[in-house]
Chain A
Amino acid sequence: MVNKRPCYCYLFPFGLGHSGVHNPLEAGQSPADLQQIGALAVNPLGDRIVDSFFPDGNHRVDFPGFVRVLAHFRPVDEEDPGMRDPKQPEPLNSRTNKLRFAFQLYDLDRDGKISRQEMLQVLRLMVGVQVTEEQLESIADRTVQEADEDGDGAVSFLEFTKSLEKMNIEQKMSIRVLK
């Protein structure tokens, strides 16, 4: 899926100016390299997104790994999903995988559930300082309650998907240049 188009070659330029590693394909990138991108510092979810480039606690990401993450954001192809070979794994840019990427940003402890605490942490990052902690907690409560269907006080991936079923994820989680 990933190597269908070769256009990702130009998408790996970030390390060049920052870390002095001139051949990223050989050396790979470390979280610090990514964090040096200035704009990411102001992004409330910047750290988490950088971390998602480094699964399983690795501290380097090589080019295929990097591209694999980016592949989540490819626009969905027009092709009929029924035509696809069922044996093949689902492409990385499918709706489910896009959602899973977002889900993992919430689910820090990787237990497959967004707990109230995790929701609160995200909210704390996203909502401005002007909202008090108490209010934040009630927002977190409500958000979890809203999506929580089996009543375990946490949002599973299934519930997460369900709460967003009306949203056009394919459109909202795609970047045109990655086409």
Chain B
Amino acid sequence: MLRAALPLLLLALSGAVAAEEPTQEPGALGEPSPGLALFRWQWHEVEAPYLVALWILVASLAKIVFHLSRKVTSLVPESCLLILLGLVLGGIVLAVAKKAEYQLEPGTFFLFLLPPIVLDSGYFMPSRLFFDNLGAILTYAVVGTLWNAFTTGAALWGLQQAGFVASRVQAGLLDFLLFGSLISAVDPVAVLAVFEEVHVNETLFIIVFGESLLNDAVTVVLYKVCNSFVEMGPANVQATDYLKGVGQYFPLLAGIGSLPPPGSSLFVVSLGGAAVGFVFAFLLALTTRFTKRVRIIEPLLVFLLAYAAYLTAEMASLSAILSVTMCGLGCKKYVEANISHKSRTAVKYTMKTLASCAETVIFMLLGISAVDSSKWAWDSGLVLGTLIFILFFRALGVVLQTWVLNQFRLVPLDKIDQVVMSYGGLRGAVAFALVILLDRTKVPAKDYFVATTIVVVFFTVIVQGLTIKPLVKWLKVKRSEHHKPTLNQELHEHTFDHILAAVEDVVGHHGYHYWRDRWEQFDKKYLSQLLMRRSAYRIRDQIWDVYYRLNIRDAISFVDQGGHVLSSTGLTLPSMPSRNSVAETSVTNLLRESGSGACLDLQVIDTVRSGRDREDAAMHHLLCGGLYKPRRRYKASCSRHFISEDAQERQDKEVFQQNMKRRLESFKSTKHNICFTKSKPRSHKAGRKKKDGVANAEAINGKPPRDLGFQDTAAVILTVESEEEEEDSESSETEKEDDEGIIFVARATSEVLQEGKVSGSLELCPSPRVIPPSPTCAEKELPWKSGQGDLAVYVSSETTKIVPVDMQMGWNQSISSLESLASPPCTQPTTLTHLPPRHLVAEEPQTLLDLSSDPRPSFAFPPSLAKAGRSRSESSADIPQQQELQPLMGHKDNTHLSPGTATSHWCINFNRGGRL
């Protein structure tokens, strides 16, 4: 806490001082010259955005500091810490500026801070779960909120009548009802912040969270109705008006009074809000269908249209939260299918970033706002009464509703669930913003209400937020368990859905399953056809999706556990298999599910029979990524509309590839041991590997094992631009994402296979011991063998049988690339043995040269070139481009090998490549 406050203090101070004395600031802060005013301190012009940025920065820094200590965040929810931080900051600002600054303004809150959070929760809402529990959610949201509002308001009024509330609180029944209506709604921001850390089971979470989202409509209506009554004044409210007010909830009753004004009936507000959301979701999905040429604006569209939905609903005084929730919920399926992988990741991260920012700022500002004592007036009776009543009536309401619901629910909510639901009714910033919006002239007790709201919000967020985790533990609430979906589960789940739908058909009962099935038919027949890109629609299938993700995960997990090097590179790994992707894979989903980069999933490997073959596939993917890219041709133009990799990115790639290389080394060495322990089925391979002694001898003699002719076909450079999708109507296989630029085309000749068989270095790795990440003796002697030697052995016919098709395809696609690695022309083997730590790096330039060797097969690389490559590769993080240009030097002119000339050549080639 203190550590957090110290750096922030300075920031806050500077902000406060600057804001407080705007008139003197040229003299105080700047240095205006008396003559020419070229340089002026223009605080005024940047003040507003600067402060916004500053606050977000402060909030983010605070978040970082909180998370430095795992202990604190595991005990205390972040929202609590932020509120406390806000209190401290608010105190400082108050002390320095003598007046409260930077409070939570309702306008800012509703227009800017709330939408990202709601969009995030709507977009990433598990829709199946949501609709499965829709009945319960709606009941709690509508009936529960109405119940809470009326009972709390009425009970407070009773409390006042009984004399427990001081007489200075001037409020009538209507005022209390108004207050009850704003204090009764469970707040989505607070619920999300707390429940995300608690990990209760999904059903419980979706009910509490869904309620907090959907009750917005009720709150809006209640608040508006009560507010208009209060503004009319109790004296003017006639009996018919009450009826009208009731009629606004239930249009059927409205016939008694005059018709309610459109827009304030509960049904209009909620259904209208939802309708606006769905309309925008439709528009959004439809728009993203046509963005294949302008991928860059895809993420923007998602945010823009969702925000437009929010604003439109707000404008029409419909429920904005409901609108944006439905927009996110409705559009996700189609948008995810339409936009590219990168856009998907961008959407995900931007959304999460925005939501987290907004949430942080909200809680912090809430803390700051509480400090301002000019705004509130304390009354113990009111505060205590409210606290007790909201807790009591929430619990009572939950129990009553659950009792009714359990008569209809398939899986009844048990007592423990009810306790958590009652206790999880957190109030938050929405209530606060609404109470600030009250008009003091109309509601004389506003200050008391503000104080009470602040206390209620703080109590629920801090006390309940702190205790709900131990409570959940103590009650042994069923936690959510994260088991990864298996293909069987996915398939059978679909089967069950179909069975239930069919049985409902047979029975003649049009229940939930019937309608879900109808909807799915409709969606498949019309909606998806209309809203999804044709290519995306065709290759979209859930079972296939799961299958594909599982394959990728297996590969990753194997590499992760076998590689012994668990590093952050694991995160980048999933993208590698997708290079060979036949169908659309959802890397983002994968990332979301695996959570961290280090996905040690031993289970999958164990249960799957052919883990062995998958290992090989995984390895192949590794190799594929570990290879240096030959030439990559970029467009020379610098387009704003297409993202092209810049030098930095390529640099990263180089570094990453070297990293992968290193991992591969250790990975391979462990594999040797595996080979030994599983000796029996591998014996024939061992025999084969014996041969490679010959190959080694050859290699050490400095003779390239064979000519380089076939490698001309090995490295085929394809420039995959984003226009590639134009051909997407031809077959699903052409639908490759534009993420990867290189495809190795297989030219697997018999020669290739032979070469694979003779290479390998098994007998050089004598004993089955646990291999550290450092190279083995075999690798020290023959660096190019170490990684790839026995990998080539697996290019045998047996592997291709069992490896799943797509992997196999990828395998085939890059046999050639393996080959080129398996037998680099050995120019300087002896020097390499003297430099054991360097060889990992050093082999890559060689490979590079090898891959890109010119059509003249007799060409021999001068030793100087190899050396140059080696020395450069040591500093390759700095000059990766120079590395890449070496092959081109071979093409152009192999007598001039100095880096300077090479650069110029490279430029020429670069441009030419762009035109191709």
Q: Identify the A interface with B (CB < 8 A).
A: 11, 13-14, 34, 37, 39-40, 42-46, 49-50, 53, 70, 73, 75, 101-102, 105-106, 122-123, 126-128, 130-132, 134-135, 137-139, 141-143, 145-149, 151, 160, 163-164, 166-168, 171-178
Structural contact, A105 and B499, CB atoms closer than 8 A: yes
Q: What are the residues of chain B within 8 A of A168 when measuring CB–CB?
A: 411
Assembled-state Cα–Cα distance A116/B535 (Å) = 29
Q: What are the residues of chain A within 8 A of B732 when measuring CB–CB?
A: 130, 132
**B582 at the A/B interface (Cβ < 8 Å)?**
yes
Given contacts A128-B541, A135-B806, contact A145 B511 (CB under 8 A): no
Structural contact, B507 and A177, CB atoms closer than 8 A: yes
Given contacts A75-B410, A142-B547, A176-B410, contact A122 B491 (CB under 8 A): yes
Structural contact, B541 and A131, CB atoms closer than 8 A: yes
**B504 at the A/B interface (Cβ < 8 Å)?**
yes
**B442 at the A/B interface (Cβ < 8 Å)?**
no
Structural contact, A143 and B491, CB atoms closer than 8 A: yes
Structural contact, A73 and B804, CB atoms closer than 8 A: no
Q: What are the residues of chain B within 8 A of A147 when measuring CB–CB?
A: 488
Structural contact, A45 and B495, CB atoms closer than 8 A: yes
- What are some 12 contacts across the A-B interface (CB < 8 A)? A44-B498, A50-B502, A70-B503, A122-B495, A139-B543, A145-B608, A151-B609, A163-B486, A166-B483, A166-B489, A172-B493, A175-B507
Structural contact, A126 and B495, CB atoms closer than 8 A: yes
For B488, give the chain A residue with the smallest CB separation.
Answer: A163
Q: What are the residues of chain A within 8 A of B517 when measuring CB–CB?
A: 39, 43
Counted as pairs of residues, one from A and one from B, with CB atoms less than 8 Å apart, the total is: 157
Q: What are the residues of chain A within 8 A of B544 when measuring CB–CB?
A: 127, 131, 135, 139
Assembled-state Cα–Cα distance A14/B802 (Å) = 47
Q: What are the residues of chain A within 8 A of B514 when measuring CB–CB?
A: 39
List B447-486 residues whose CB lies under 8 Å from chain A.
Answer: 481, 483, 486
Interface hub of B486, B505, B539, B551 (most chain A Cβ within 10 A):
B505
Structural contact, A173 and B806, CB atoms closer than 8 A: no
For B731, give the chain A residue with the smallest CB separation.
Answer: A132
**B487 at the A/B interface (Cβ < 8 Å)?**
yes
For B484, give the chain A residue with the smallest CB separation.
Answer: A166
List B502-518 residues whose CB lies under 8 Å from chain A.
Answer: 502-509, 511-514, 517-518
Structural contact, B608 and A42, CB atoms closer than 8 A: no
Structural contact, A172 and B511, CB atoms closer than 8 A: no
List B146-200 residues whose CB lies under 8 Å from chain A.
Answer: none
**B550 at the A/B interface (Cβ < 8 Å)?**
yes
Q: Identify the B interface with A (CB < 8 A).
A: 408-411, 481, 483, 486-489, 491-496, 498-509, 511-514, 517-518, 521, 537-541, 543-544, 547, 550-551, 582-583, 607-610, 732, 802, 804-806
Structural contact, B508 and A11, CB atoms closer than 8 A: yes
Q: What are the residues of chain A within 8 A of B493 when measuring CB–CB?
A: 167, 172
For A139, give the chain B residue with the smallest CB separation.
Answer: B547
Given contacts A143-B487, A148-B609, contact A49 B499 (CB under 8 A): yes
Assembled-state Cα–Cα distance A128/B512 (Å) = 23
Task: Select A126's contact among B486, B494, B506, B518, beta carbons within 8 Å.
Answer: B494
For A44, give the chain B residue with the smallest CB separation.
Answer: B498
Given contacts A102-B495, A102-B499, A175-B511, contact A167 B804 (CB under 8 A): no
For B505, give the chain A residue with the smallest CB separation.
Answer: A39
Structural contact, B513 and A102, CB atoms closer than 8 A: no
Structural contact, B492 and A40, CB atoms closer than 8 A: no
Given contacts A11-B507, A146-B607, A175-B504, contact A164 B540 (CB under 8 A): no
Is the contact region of chain A dominated by helix, strand, or loop, or is it mixed? helix
Q: What are the residues of chain A within 8 A of B408 when measuring CB–CB?
A: 176
Smallest beta-carbon distance B585→chain A, Å: 13
Starting from the known contacts A137-B805, A175-B503, 7 additional A-B residue pairs (CB-CB under 8 Å) come to: A11-B507, A13-B508, A34-B506, A70-B503, A70-B507, A138-B804, A146-B607
Assembled-state Cα–Cα distance A49/B517 (Å) = 15
Smallest beta-carbon distance B608→chain A, Å: 6
Given contacts A146-B487, A177-B511, contact A130 B539 (CB under 8 A): yes
Q: What are the residues of chain B within 8 A of A141 when measuring CB–CB?
A: 802, 804
Q: What are the residues of chain A within 8 A of B539 when measuring CB–CB?
A: 130-131
Assembled-state Cα–Cα distance A50/B551 (Å) = 35
Assembled-state Cα–Cα distance A163/B411 (Å) = 22
Q: What are the residues of chain B within 8 A of A37 when measuring CB–CB?
A: 505-506
For B550, give the chain A residue with the smallest CB separation.
Answer: A142
Q: What are the residues of chain B within 8 A of A146 when measuring CB–CB?
A: 486-488, 607-608
Given contacts A37-B505, A123-B543, A143-B488, contact A173 B410 (CB under 8 A): no
For B807, give the chain A residue with the smallest CB separation.
Answer: A138
Structural contact, B804 and A42, CB atoms closer than 8 A: no
Q: What are the residues of chain A within 8 A of B491 when measuring CB–CB?
A: 122-123, 126, 143
Task: Select B499's contact among A137, A142, A167, A173, beta carbons within 8 Å.
Answer: A173
Smallest beta-carbon distance B581→chain A, Å: 12
Q: What are the residues of chain A within 8 A of B518 when measuring CB–CB?
A: 39
Q: What are the residues of chain B within 8 A of A46 when measuring CB–CB?
A: 498, 502
Q: What are the residues of chain A within 8 A of B481 when measuring CB–CB?
A: 166
Q: What are the residues of chain B within 8 A of A130 when measuring CB–CB?
A: 537-541, 732
Structural contact, B500 and A73, CB atoms closer than 8 A: yes
Q: What are the residues of chain A within 8 A of B609 when measuring CB–CB?
A: 145, 148, 151
Task: Select B498's contact among A45, A50, A128, A139, beta carbons within 8 Å.
Answer: A45
For A172, give the chain B residue with the smallest CB separation.
Answer: B496
Structural contact, A171 and B411, CB atoms closer than 8 A: yes
Smallest beta-carbon distance A162→chain B, Å: 9
Given contacts A70-B507, A142-B547, contact A49 B541 (CB under 8 A): no
Assembled-state Cα–Cα distance A151/B805 (Å) = 21
Task: Select B487's contact among A70, A101, A139, beta carbons within 8 Å.
Answer: A139
Structural contact, A127 and B541, CB atoms closer than 8 A: yes
For B497, give the chain A residue with the smallest CB separation.
Answer: A172
Smallest beta-carbon distance A157→chain B, Å: 13
Assembled-state Cα–Cα distance A46/B517 (Å) = 12
- A-B complex: 7 closest residue pairs judged by Cβ atoms: A163-B488, A138-B804, A138-B805, A130-B538, A49-B502, A45-B498, A39-B505
Q: What are the residues of chain B within 8 A of A138 when measuring CB–CB?
A: 547, 804-806
Structural contact, A42 and B521, CB atoms closer than 8 A: yes
Given contacts A13-B508, A43-B501, A173-B499, contact A167 B492 (CB under 8 A): yes
